[in-house]
Amino acid sequence: MTTDTRGPAPGRSAVVLALRHYGRELLRLRRLALPALLLPAVGNIGIRYVAPLLIAKLAGQAADDGGLTLGRALPYVLGFGLTLLLAEAVWRVGQHCLNRVDALGMEHLYVSGMDELLAKDAAFFHDNFAGSLTKRVLSFGKRFEDFVDTVTYRIVGSLVPLVFGAVVLWSYEPMLVVGLFLMIALTVVAATPLIRRRQRLVNDREAAIARVSGHVADSLMNMETVRAFAAERREAAEHRGRVADSRRLTLRSWDYGNLRVDTLIAPMSVLTNVLGLLVAIAFGGPGQGVEEVVVAFTYYSNATQIMFEFNQIYRRLESSTTEAAQFTELLLDPPTVVDADAPAPLAPRDSGIRFEAVTFAHAGAKPIFRGLDLDVPAGARIGLVGRSGGGKTTLTRLLLRMSDIDRGRILIGGQDISLLRQSDLRSLIAYVPQEPAMFHRSLRDNIAFARPGATDEEIRAAAAAAHVTEFADLLPDGFDTLVGERGVKLSGGQRQRVALARAILRDAPVLLLDEATSALDSESELLVQDALWRLMDGRTALVVAHRLSTVAGMDRLVVLDRGRVVEQGPHEKLLAADGAYARLWRHQSGGFLGESTGPSVDGDGRVDGDGRDDGDRRDDGDRRGGGPPHVRPRRESSGPPSEEAARSAP
Ligand SMILES: Nc1ncnc2c1ncn2[C@@H]1O[C@H](COP(=O)(O)OP(=O)(O)OP(=O)(O)O)[C@@H](O)[C@H]1O
Ligand SMILES: [Mg+2]
């Protein structure tokens, strides 16, 4: 997760795109949106302008020669009550529609926002952090409510009644209208630079708040590390500092609003009201004075409210569109891995895989593959080995089309994968990634994710084959146990076994295993390998492993180094060739080739030997209990044993 979930200030095109999305929602919901936007304004006309007009007329009557009698007052009183009642009713209907516009609009935006993210390619998620994306996609939906409410209540709800008021005032005295609009315009012109300045202070404040939340998220996510380094006080001090900073900037922006902006607007508003009264008195004809003064007073005092709201309208519209734009800017660059316009129907000849002159570079990096060729015949079991960073994981991800290659072709069953629908391609592959991720769902759901609709028996069979059942039965709720965020409640080896159970359940013709058993102890690996060998039967398998004993029994081993295939062939042949593979093997076996320490391969290509990982992985020194079925240990050692071997020696 990023430490700053706020994201940078979005550009103009992102703001335009956000407004277009929100506008499109209003258009889509126009049958509800039109009454939602207009009815509160109509209600406001009744409450703010028609009812006071009736009171003004009543006052005019009272000032008349005849004085006020109940008979003369009654129509006005009734009209006053009826107006307010109607206005309230209109408001309720408008609010009813607005609630629906808000809820339906947000629903659609939440859904379409997630759809946009689901369509993104893998590189996008490497460049954007989950925490930031979560906040942005949810704000995109949520801020629609603020946006529509501001437009409804504050803009349409104020401006439409103001126009009505202006028409009424005009009928009394055009100068009243001229004076009012002149003063409003003056105030807007005078206040705009202050509001802009305040906006900068608000931005500083928001950035300080984001720094607080970023640090809180970062600390909480790394709580184990904080504890392990006894850094609680340090983290608390950092937090205190950030909170104090945010308090200082918050007060500064509030004070600016209160002391600078409103101290300008308040006298302008007073002046406007006084001016209204003066105009009404000066221009009111004889006998019309009282009515006119009351109208001028109430209409002006209503209208000057807008002056105070101007600040808020600006702020709310700005913040809602800015937040929405932080999401829409993610949409400005379309996903790079997309389905072809007319995808080829899925009709693979078999499950063979071919990489033909593949060139690929991660964005902004040097090419990792330059004209790579690799042929994996249908049904073959290929072990992919080589130094860390050699490109093994990248190769498996290209086959899954997590990224698109720059040149060349990748074929599966004779079909170019770039012409297939991505979902079709991936339906052919059961994949176990190097670092399997878990959903915070039950163990059962995590396994069943590989094949929706799998029966409970199928799930349990896959779990049994991957040796998940052994530990699942010990969990508090068995298969219904929630595994924690990213699967933190499972050990690394347990997560791998769940990932293997997924692959088994997937039942796809191509198996793609990236270090699928690296976190298992030798005994568990032995058991799981057994299941894997059975699974590989009749399928094409590409198995990445650092622990060579895991893959030594495969039909062919491919040694990848710096994006090039430096060697390939069966285990024995590669040992005989005494090249890169033989060196790796020697290194892992902790002995010397040709001496009895070295592993050897039995008749059907399976290996006898003691494989160990290359040092940056688990200690696998203890293979005395027997290797996987294809690996039989022999340690009648003569060569110098490695450190691990020495430690594990009886
Ligand atoms: N998303 C990425 N963006 C940029 N470079 C990347 C990305 N992913 C991997 N790389 C780089 O590509 C190279 C190959 O990485 P890859 O993960 O394929 O190696 P690997 O052979 O699987 O290594 P390991 O055995 O350690 O898993 C590395 O140098 C790595 O830094
Ligand atoms: Mg890797």
- 464, 474, 472: which is closest to 442 by C-alpha? 472
Do residues 15 and 101 share a domain?
A: yes
Concatenating the DSSP letter of every residue in 525-570 gives HHHHHHHHHHHHTTSEEEEE-SSHHHHTTSSEEEEEETTEEEEEE-
Tokens at 269, concatenated = 């508003």
Whether 39 shows a pLDDT value over 60: the answer reads yes
385 in a domain, yes or no? no
Better pLDDT: 493 or 241: 241
Please tell me if the CB atom of residue 392 comes closer than 6 angstroms to any atom of ligand 1: yes
User: Which residue is closest in CA terms to ligand 1's atom 2?
Assistant: 362
DSSP 3-state of 277: helix
- Inter-residue contact 361 to 336 (CB < 8 Å): no
**Rounded percentage of the chain residues whose pLDDT exceeds 90:** 52
Do residues 246 and 329 share a domain?
A: no
- Inter-residue contact 183 to 275 (CB < 8 Å): yes
- Hunting for tokens 């039942």 — which residue is that? 507
Do residues 203 and 272 share a domain?
A: yes
Better pLDDT: 369 or 309: 369
pLDDT at 590: 66
- Inter-residue contact 29 to 19 (CB < 8 Å): no
pLDDT tens, 105-153? 999 999 999 999 999 988 898 888 777 788 889 999 999 999 999 999 9
User: Which residue is closest in CA terms to ligand 1's atom 4?
Assistant: 362
611 in a domain, yes or no? no
pLDDT at 9: 65
Instruction: Give me the mean pLDDT over the 362-372 stretch.
Output: 90
Do residues 220 and 277 share a domain?
A: yes
117 in a domain, yes or no? yes
For the chain, the C-alpha Rg in angstroms (whole number) is: 37
Do residues 29 and 142 share a domain?
A: yes
Q: Give distance in angstroms: CA of 397 to centre of ligand 1.
A: 10
Burial tier of 237 (Cβ tally within 10 Å: 0-12, 13-18, 19+): exposed
Do residues 162 and 202 share a domain?
A: no
Enclosing domain of residue 244:
175-283
pLDDT tens, 261-309? 888 989 999 999 999 888 888 876 665 678 888 888 899 998 888 888 8
Instruction: Tell me how far apart the alpha carbons of residues 90 and 593 are, in angstroms, rounded to a whole number.
Output: 91
Concatenating the DSSP letter of every residue in 402-456 gives SS--SEEEEEETTEEGGGB-HHHHHHTEEEE-SS----SSBHHHHHHTTSTT--H
Please tell me if the CB atom of residue 128 comes closer than 6 angstroms to any atom of ligand 1: no
User: Which residue is closest in CA terms to ligand 1's atom 13?
Assistant: 389
Do residues 34 and 148 share a domain?
A: yes
Mutate to test the pocket of ligand 1, among 121, 129, 355, 362 (most ligand atoms within 8 A of CB): 362
416 in a domain, yes or no? no
User: Which residue is closest in CA terms to ligand 1's atom 31?
Assistant: 389
The pLDDT confidence band at residue 259, using thresholds 50, 70 and 90, is confident
Burial tier of 388 (Cβ tally within 10 Å: 0-12, 13-18, 19+): exposed
Please tell me if the CB atom of residue 384 comes closer than 6 angstroms to any atom of ligand 1: no
Tokens at 259, concatenated = 């002391």
Do residues 84 and 25 share a domain?
A: yes
The pLDDT confidence band at residue 203, using thresholds 50, 70 and 90, is confident
Please tell me if the CB atom of residue 171 comes closer than 6 angstroms to any atom of ligand 1: no
Do residues 168 and 232 share a domain?
A: no
The pLDDT confidence band at residue 173, using thresholds 50, 70 and 90, is confident
84 in a domain, yes or no? yes
- Hunting for tokens 């003066």 — which residue is that? 278
| Number of neighbours of residue 484 by Cβ within 10 angstroms | 11
- Hunting for tokens 């003691």 — which residue is that? 610
- 531, 471, 474, 476: which is closest to 505 by C-alpha? 531
Exposed e or buried b per residue across 283-298, where buried means at least 16 C-beta atoms within 10 angstroms of its C-beta? bbeeebebbbbbbbbb
Q: Give distance in angstroms: CA of 394 to centre of ligand 2.
A: 7
Mutate to test the pocket of ligand 1, among 394, 404, 515, 544 (most ligand atoms within 8 A of CB): 394
Integer CA distances (angstroms), 453 to 449, 450, 481, 527, in order: 9, 10, 20, 27
Q: Give distance in angstroms: CA of 550 to centre of ligand 2.
A: 15
462 in a domain, yes or no? no
User: Which residue is closest in CA terms to ligand 1's atom 11?
Assistant: 389
Cβ contacts of 148 within 8 Å, gap of 6 or more: 22, 26, 33, 36, 98, 101, 102, 105
Ligand nearest to the CA of 391: 1
Please tell me if the CB atom of residue 434 comes closer than 6 angstroms to any atom of ligand 1: yes
Please tell me if the CB atom of residue 361 comes closer than 6 angstroms to any atom of ligand 1: no
Do residues 17 and 153 share a domain?
A: yes
Ligand nearest to the CA of 432: 2
Please tell me if the CB atom of residue 390 comes closer than 6 angstroms to any atom of ligand 1: yes
pTM of the model: 0.77
Instruction: Tell me how far apart the alpha carbons of residues 422 and 417 are, in angstroms, rounded to a whole number.
Output: 8
Better pLDDT: 5 or 166: 166
Q: Give distance in angstroms: CA of 551 to centre of ligand 1.
A: 21
Do residues 32 and 144 share a domain?
A: yes
- Inter-residue contact 162 to 442 (CB < 8 Å): no
Better pLDDT: 160 or 530: 160
Q: Give distance in angstroms: CA of 395 to centre of ligand 1.
A: 9
380 in a domain, yes or no? no
Mutate to test the pocket of ligand 1, among 128, 337, 368, 542 (most ligand atoms within 8 A of CB): 368
Q: Which atom of ligand 1 is nearest to the CA of 386?
A: 21
Say how many domains are in the chain. Answer: 2
| Number of neighbours of residue 195 by Cβ within 10 angstroms | 22
439 in a domain, yes or no? no
User: Which residue is closest in CA terms to ligand 1's atom 18?
Assistant: 391
Do residues 123 and 32 share a domain?
A: yes
